[in-house]
Structure 1
Amino acid sequence: MPKGYAPMKISFQVATPEVDTPLLPSAQGALGGNLRVLSDLGYEGVDLSLRKPRDLDLDAIRKEVEKNSLEVSSIHTAAIGFQDSVWLCHPDEAIRKEGMDRLKGSLDVAAFFGVGATVGTFRGRLSEGEEHERSLGWMRDAIREGSDYAAEKGARILFEPQHRHRYGNNFIYNAQEGVAFVEEINSPGLGLMLDTFHMNIEDVSFSRSIVDAKDHLGHMHISDSNRLYPGAGHVPFREIIDTLRAIDYEEFLAIQVRMPPDFQTSAALGIANLRSLL
């Protein structure tokens, strides 16, 4: 690590026990066992991917995390949509209401751990045709209401730009669009998360996007161009790390990847390759 720089910490995404979906790039199954693997490999934190936030025993989870000398780096919400088809933006009002309830529950969990809650796929999709403008209102209203709630709780939504082929995403593709949306909502409860996998597809320049997002950037998801561990593809992680240092980024680098051949191998290679750049 260059002299004078604060070290960035590395985390890995794991799911809470109620999550069970092949769509989610998280370590699933026994939480305690997964945390032990990460601790033994030298990780400092975990992104917790949840599905039913109000059903979780937060004290028990915190105890398990601390027992393994880890800390929670963020709360992740994609499983809510993947497993239960609940979204923040949807033509069905009942689904939107359930989505808001789950978002607020996730923000309560985030506040409990003193971190942000990421919103990526869980945001839902804009409607096509005549309903497009109306659905844009649903999207804005949901993020605004959630951001205000987050601010009250001392937490923050971290909104994630995603590429346009990601499960039909049709709203906010790159860092610059994300910055514009965050500034439009203009709430202390809303920030931005960037994901190197999506950036590789949508953003013109990794370094330019990170610099453009610096005033709002609260979290980074790390994976390579093929959604595998860093080092398995062609994402320029040296450029990314150097730019994050240049903007004084001091948050986590959270590895979120598909895991062939298995979780332990991916986690081991991911931290080894990323740590070599820090």
Structure 2
Amino acid sequence: MNASTPLYTGLGLRRGLLPELLNMDTAALDFLECAPENWIGVGGAFAQGLERLAERFAIACHGLSLSLGGTEPLDVKLLASTRAFLDRHRVRLYSEHLSYCTDDGHLYDLMPIPFTEEAVQHVAARIRQAQDVLGRRIAVENISYYAAPYQAMDELTFIRAVLDEADCDLLLDVNNVFVNACNHRYDAQAFLAGIPRERVVGMHVAGHYDEAEDLKVDTHGAPVKEDVWALFSSACRRFGTLPTVLERDFNYPPLAELLAETARMRALQLAHGGH
């Protein structure tokens, strides 16, 4: 894959999809995105499959385990292994979650950070440290959250403050914006309008579950909802055509159904100036 090839339309690389991805037409996608923690140190057929895919597609990475908002020291061993993985696969876009996932061990969930000035300083320092060890800028992703911790500022103000203090980028999860806007009663379009254009370097779209009219649950286990497609179109209009990944983590349909969704993503990108 040519290092200058634009990254526009991508799909999450999951082990459950590996057989079908290996037989997929290269023209179907521009890139694949994986969580490096799920592939570092893996051998056998999975490692061989990843190598074969990396020869045909650009690879982006979206981390799960740095716990940027946590209180324990950053895992420098994981950071070193991640840097080697990113270098080996010539990864141009690496992102992590603006959350924490450890407390004397892994919690196996993405927990929200209190929206306070103290938290801004804390997480920004850890992002800067991670960038130093990784030798590259990273993007942080806005997460979905349900039970909000203490909020001295709103979500948008908090995210903007972290981006400025850490001098890092944003991976905009459009589905999370929609879910949070519904659950926490704010305007999704106003949220997009408040995000600095220059900070956004990529996007995610995914499906969610409608628990109730006023409660949405981010699942990554269903097709993208029409309201999220509409919000993605708005995001493309504001931020331009950026690397965007369709995330699907379980309830995998036939690959053709996922590629129909990525084709819709690509059509929206083309409608807003993509190539």
Shorter-chain TM-score bucket reads 0.5 to 0.7
Does residue 1 of structure 2 align to residue 9 of structure 1? Answer: no
Counterpart residue number, 1:145: 129
Maintained 8 Å contact 1:160/1:178: no
TM-score, length-normalised on structure 1? 0.65
Partner of 2:138: 157
- Report the identity percentage: 11
Gaps of 5+ in 1: 1-6, 15-26, 81-85
RMSD (Å), alpha carbons: 3.9
Return the offset for 1:220: 0.4
1:33-112 alignment, distance < 5 Å: 33-39=19-25, 42-51=28-37, 55=41, 63-67=51-55, 69-72=56-59, 74-78=60-64, 80=65, 87-91=67-71, 93=72, 96-98=73-75, 100-112=76-88
Letter in 2 for 1:267: L
Q: Distance in 1 between matches of 2:150 and 2:256?
A: 34
Relative to the length of structure 2, the TM-score reads 0.66
Query: In structure 2, how many angstroms separate the alpha carbons of the residues matched to 1:169 and 1:198?
Result: 17
Task: Give the match for residue 179 of structure 1.
Answer: 160
Kept in 2: contact 1:10–1:43 (CA 8 A): yes
Q: Which runs of 5+ in 2 are unaligned?
A: 1-5, 102-110, 182-186, 210-218, 271-275
> 2:139 aligns to what SS in structure 1?
strand
Tell me the residue number matched to 2:246.
255
The answer as to 2:232 corresponding to 1:240 is yes
Provide closer, same or farther for how the CA distance between residues 181 and 89 of structure 1 changes in structure 2, counting only shifts above 3 A: closer
Is the contact made by 1:10 and 1:44 (CA closer than 8 Å) also made in structure 2?
Answer: yes
The count of residues paired between Structure 1 and Structure 2 equals 235
Change in Cα spacing, 1:108 to 1:261, as seen in structure 2 (3 Å) is closer
1:158: how far off? Answer: 0.9
Residue 219 (structure 2) pairs with residue 219 (structure 1): no
Q: Secondary structure at the match of 1:215?
A: helix
- Using the alignment, how far apart are the partners of 1:233 and 1:46 within structure 2? 22
